[in-house]
Amino acid sequence: MLMVMSSMMMAMIISIALMVMCTVISKSSIVDREKMSPFECGFDPMNSSRSPFSIQFFLIAVLFLIFDIEIAIILPIIITMKWNLTSTWILTITFFIFILTMGLYYEWNNGVLEWSK
């Protein structure tokens, strides 16, 4: 019991010491208007935040993200296919790719992938 209590006290002391050190280190001594303003990739933060944004770029980025996640899901399925029933995994992968293909076809029909109109 004494060992558990001493371990808990040591963990508390180390945690509090780290929090105090982080607080002391993170204090900024020089307050500058430029340093205190938010960083916005070189754009002047005093302008309006309602600048025009290309919705086409956003839709292509979302499409890329969907297919990027598809790869992240399918690769582990291929690795675990050795240990499980092959027919079940092939059916699962086929169904998953079919749903993604139908989504791509839907976006293609609606003209999302056409860059200029």
74 pLDDT more than 90: no
Residue 99 lies in a domain: yes
Altogether, the residues listed in the chain come to a count of 117
Q: Which two tokens stand for residue 101?
A: 């293909």
Segment 12-48, tens digit of pLDDT: 999 999 999 888 887 655 566 666 666 656 555 565 6
Cα distances from 55 to residues 1, 73, 99, 109, 116, in angstroms, run 62, 27, 24, 17, 12
- Is there a domain that residue 87 lies in? yes
CA pair distance 74, 68, nearest whole angstrom: 10
Q: Answer yes or no: is 21 within a domain.
A: no
Q: Is residue 33 part of a domain?
A: no
Residue type, 11: A
pTM assigned to the model: 0.43
Query: Would 97 be classed as within a structural domain?
Result: yes
C-alpha–C-alpha distance, residues 89 and 76, integer Å: 11
Asked if residue 66 is part of any domain, the answer here is: yes
Q: Look at residue 31 and tell me if it is in a domain.
A: no
What is the domain range of residue 90?
55-109
Report how many domains make up the chain.
1
